[in-house]
Amino acid sequence: MPATKRFSAYLASRDDKGACRGEVRTDLALDQLPPGDLLVRVAYSSVNYKDALSATGGPGVTRVYPHIPGIDAVGEVAASTSALFAPGDPVIVTGYRLGMDHWGGFAQYIRVPAEWAVPLPPGLSPVECMRHGTAGFTAALAVDAILGRERRRADGPVLVTGATGGVAMVAIALLARLGCPVTAVTRKEGAIRGRLIQLGAQEVLTPGQLEAGDKPLFKERWSGVVDTVGGAGLEHLVKATAAGGVVTTCGMTAGNRFGSSVFPFILRGVSLVGIDSVNQDAAARARIWGRLAGDWRVDLERISTEIGLDGITGCVRELLAGTHVGRTVVRL
């Protein structure tokens, strides 16, 4: 394939005052892509909060501009110098440095190291894969941690916080699919509550309805927790988790500080598990994607919106304003 072949992408650039803005470009060449073993023709990507930060120059994500965001991509290998994949192989690329300091999935082509890719499992179409994306992969890791640990099968439901975000909505659907009672927590009012019930939540609460305070332990209420918010509220969730329960944490929109007594851990055997979707090895990724294509398969079309490259700027604004709901897939 000619190195000068042109392709379209969403390129974020800084101006001379340091402000960052994104635009659709149609004149980029393959030889501008970073080095890697695989050239992948991207079919779909998805928009995540980290992409919104990268596209607008948010701290701690991307340092060098111009840059193509997009921490997710699914497509077909166009060229390969690796024995792991051949041209025509369908692959998923998420995590590692994709879309952060390595040009990412908001482009018709990416070039990446072969070890970043895993085969697209049979039974999962490219668009279904990106309805999950990193958000769904993270949710599946959290559910896997909750259900896979030795724990008492308490009567209480699994609590999911930040329930209108992509990770939380996929987690609700997965837990309901697997027969777990789910309580969702959201600040948003109105019709979104009905959508969460349709997705599988048995109960929808506001953060103010959760117990808080300085007591070292609360009444055992949750058999597990998928927390996507973080901050001071996480301590309260740990205190209300039943004996043997698992609390997973994967977000920090409410802050990155955590404080707690050791009582929930040594008196109830509660586990606090951090969910890292970035650095999972290929075997772990393949196992989780295989489950999402198999016995954990859920239909996410009803919580997903599909856009082109020209829709990314608007989606980024919604994510940063906290008004975005569900999953947004980018069609390349």
**In the predicted model, what is the mean pLDDT of the chain?**
93
CA distance 138 to 117: 17
Q: How far apart are CA 164 and CA 23, in angstroms?
A: 27
pLDDT in tens, 62-118: 999 999 999 999 999 999 999 999 999 999 999 999 999 999 999 999 999 999 999
Supply the pTM of this predicted model: 0.94
Taking only the tens place, the pLDDT of each residue in 155-199 is 679 999 999 899 999 999 999 999 999 999 998 877 688 889 999
Residue matched to tokens 């509550």: 193
Span 211-219, mean pLDDT?
A: 91
Rg (CA), the chain: 20
Per CATH, the homologous superfamily of domain 135-274 is NAD(P)-binding Rossmann-like Domain (3.40.50.720)
What token pair was written down for 117?
């890719």
The residues that bridge with 24 in the sheet, in sequence order, are 10
Task: Give residue 193's pLDDT.
Answer: 84
* CATH code of the region 6-120+300-331: 3.90.180.10
- Domains of the chain, by residue range, sit at 6-120+300-331, 135-274
DSSP string of 138-187?
HHHHHHHHHHHS-----SSPEEESSTTSHHHHHHHHHHHHTT--EEEE-S
To which H or E segment does residue 235 belong?
helix 233-239
Q: What is the rounded distance in angstroms from the CA atom of residue 279 to the CA atom of residue 322?
A: 27
Most confident of 190-194, 195-199, 231-235, 306-310: 306-310
